[in-house]
Amino acid sequence: EDQVTQSPEALRLQEGESSSLNCSYTVSGLRGLFWYRQDPGKGPEFLFTLYSAGEEKEKERLKATLTKKESFLHITAPKPEDSATYLCAVQARGQNFVFGPGTRLSVLP
Amino acid sequence: GAVVSQHPSWVICKSGTSVKIECRSLDFQATTMFWYRQFPKQSLMLMATSNEGSKATYEQGVEKDKFLINHASLTLSTLTVTSAHPEDSSFYICSARKGTAGTEAFFGQGTRLTVV
């Protein structure tokens, strides 16, 4: 059974304090790993897609990396507006996305 | 590009009535649409997957007669909650994928349903 876990469950950072969020997965035949950002009361916003181990993608203060067992979302010098829940999802042989529980990030000014 | 619009953003209905939620892909044709339910501080729970012109595939435990999904075109899917009860109150979110399996999906803004 495909599974996705994320850690930590919640993270509080000071503005400018860089950190990483982890997404560990167990799937048969990974077709893609996806990162989303979700603000309270809104639908998730697409951030990145990663397909193969070693792949990296960047967008502003965010960088996503992928290995054969996990993905990291690195946040460099975060700002309060980066506060949100970050969701990781995988897609394996089926067409459905399997979502992790998310990491609630709070960036304090 | 890749905008998904969901309507309404919130709705309050009386117990026993039905509510329809629309999900539209505004600037692309969606090969597959997904419907999720989300409880407070929890992740997304997939309810069903639908392809245009085909019957939806429901996840285990989701009542297909209660949650009617119609995917009539490549840009529109609807979720109808029939005979709604207070326990159906939740945040419902749709997503749409324009490519084949392995490509990203884009989400609507969600619908907050409250059944009183």
Element (H, E) at B21: strand B19-25
**Residue A51 forms contact with B (CB below 8 Å):** yes
CATH of the domain at A13: 2.60.40.10
Q: A2: buried, middle or exposed (CB in 10 Å: 19+, 13-18, 0-12)?
A: middle
Range(s) of the domain holding residue A28: 3-95
User: What are the backbone dihedrals phi and psi of residue A51, each rounded to the nearest 5 degrees, phi first?
Assistant: -115, -30
Q: How many CA atoms lie within 13 A of A50 on its CB side?
A: 26
Q: Is A83 a domain residue?
A: yes
**Which pLDDT tens digit goes with each residue over A12-33?**
999 999 999 999 999 888 999 9
pLDDT of residue A107: 98
Q: Give the C-alpha distances (Å, rounded to integers) separating A101 from A6, A10, B34, B43, B50.
A: 6, 11, 18, 5, 23
Q: Is A100 a domain residue?
A: no
Query: Do A97 and B101 lie within an 8 Å CB cutoff?
Result: no
Residue-level length of chain A: 109
pLDDT of residue A63: 98
**Residue A29 forms contact with B (CB below 8 Å):** no
Closest CA to B96 of B105, B108, B83, B86: B105
List the structure tokens of B60: 């285990």
pLDDT of residue B114: 97
Q: Is A101 a domain residue?
A: no
Q: Is A25 a domain residue?
A: yes
Pairing of strands B10-13, B76-81: unpaired
Gap from A102 CA to chain B (nearest CA, Å): 6
Element (H, E) at A39: none
**Which pLDDT tens digit goes with each residue over A28-60?**
889 999 999 999 999 999 999 999 999 999 999
Closest residue in B to A48 (Cα) is B104
What is the mean pLDDT of the segment spanning B101-105? 83
pLDDT of residue B40: 87
Amino acid letter at B38? Q
Q: Is A18 a domain residue?
A: yes
Given a cut of 80, is residue A95 above it in pLDDT? no
Tell me the pLDDT of chain B averaged across its residues.
Answer: 93
Among the ranges A95-99, B6-10, B55-59, B68-72, which has the highest mean pLDDT value?
B6-10
Query: Do B101 and A31 lie within an 8 Å CB cutoff?
Result: yes
Q: Is A109 a domain residue?
A: no
**Residue B108 forms contact with A (CB below 8 Å):** yes
pLDDT of residue B105: 93
What is the mean pLDDT of the segment spanning A89-108? 91
Q: Is A103 a domain residue?
A: no
How many domains, chain A?
1
Q: Is A108 a domain residue?
A: no
Nearest to A101 among B34, B43, B91 (CB): B43
**Which pLDDT tens digit goes with each residue over B29-66?**
998 999 999 998 888 999 999 988 888 999 999 999 99
What is the mean pLDDT of the segment spanning B67-89? 94
* Preferred mutation among B25, B37, B44, B51 to probe A, highest tally of A CBs within 10 A: B44
- The Cα A71–Cα A65 span in angstroms is 5
